[in-house]
Amino acid sequence: MPPLIFKITPLNPLKYFIYLSSAAVIITSLFFDLKYLSIVLPISLVFIIVPYLYEIFSRRLNMPNIYFLVSVVCLMIADYMIYTDFTKNFSYICICIFLYTILSSLALKEYVFEIKIKWKNALSYPFIIASLLICYLIFSFSSLIIDVLPDSKLIISLPVTGLIIYYLVSYYLYVSDAYRYGIKLLVAIITCVAIVALTSMNQLYLQCDSCTLFIALGHILGIYIFMRFLVIQDPKDVQDVIKHDL
């Protein structure tokens, strides 16, 4: 009987950055004052940028997506202000979230320009239902924020507008079915909307450590999924079936 041979797939060392940052977030959320997340969470996003840059240059792909890199910087600034003083910095947080969503949408512009779909095909029942649910989630949470921060009526329109634009761009790419990994965009935008809404509720109403942990990990996961889409999906790699249909 021949000896059993086990093939062990080596773990990509760069993934240790993600695991390390997630472990740091978990430990900080559970055992330390949450103000330390203002430092740990931005650093965890740096641990996502490093693997992204490495994979871009090691694979000799196109130049790094500047919009994505700047959007992550905006998110790092927002994270710092959220866990420093959410109420005091709320206006600046809204601006950073708006910039993040707009820059994330611009990061996908090369993918959008490669395809064209008929909007009558895109305006399906699932799109209408999903859009209504997303809008309901955004506006219901916005009204709860305004109840606590009545002076934020104008500034809160910025992140709301940015989230809607980001959702429409992501859905456009997903519903086209032109990209193999388009589902990652849908997961990324749903995660983004959920985390933005839950962060506001947690800071203003809940103040729950377990909820903070869930938000922080979801935050990292959403950015990581979006980053993976940019790395593994070539904008020009439109599926052949879709090319013929379009």
- Residue 176, domain member (yes or no): yes
- Residue 5, domain member (yes or no): no
- Residue 6, domain member (yes or no): no
Q: How far apart are CA 37 and CA 44, in angstroms?
A: 10
For residue 133, the model assigns a pLDDT of 83
- Residue 4, domain member (yes or no): no
Query: What's the sign of the alpha-carbon dihedral 231, 233, 235, 236?
Result: positive
- Residue 203, domain member (yes or no): yes
- Residue 10, domain member (yes or no): no
pLDDT digits (tens, 9 = 90+) for 90-142: 999 999 999 999 999 999 998 887 666 655 556 667 777 877 888 888 888 88
Task: Pick out the chain residues at pLDDT < 50.
Answer: 1-10, 241-246
- Residue 103, domain member (yes or no): yes
- Residue 165, domain member (yes or no): yes
Phi-psi region of 238 (alpha: psi -120 to 50; beta: other; left: phi over 0): beta
From 169, 180, 219, 185, select the one nearest 199 (Cα to Cα): 219
For residue 246, the model assigns a pLDDT of 39
Contacts of residue 118, Cβ cutoff 8 Å, sequence gap at least 6: none
Owning domain of residue 100: 15-245
Q: How far apart are CA 36 and CA 208, in angstroms?
A: 15
Contacts of residue 205, Cβ cutoff 8 Å, sequence gap at least 6: 144, 148
In terms of pTM, does the model score above 0.85? yes
For residue 122, the model assigns a pLDDT of 61
What domain count does the chain have? 1
Determine the 3-state secondary structure of 39 from DSSP: helix
Q: How far apart are CA 220 and CA 48, in angstroms?
A: 8
For residue 223, the model assigns a pLDDT of 94
**How many residues in the chain?**
246
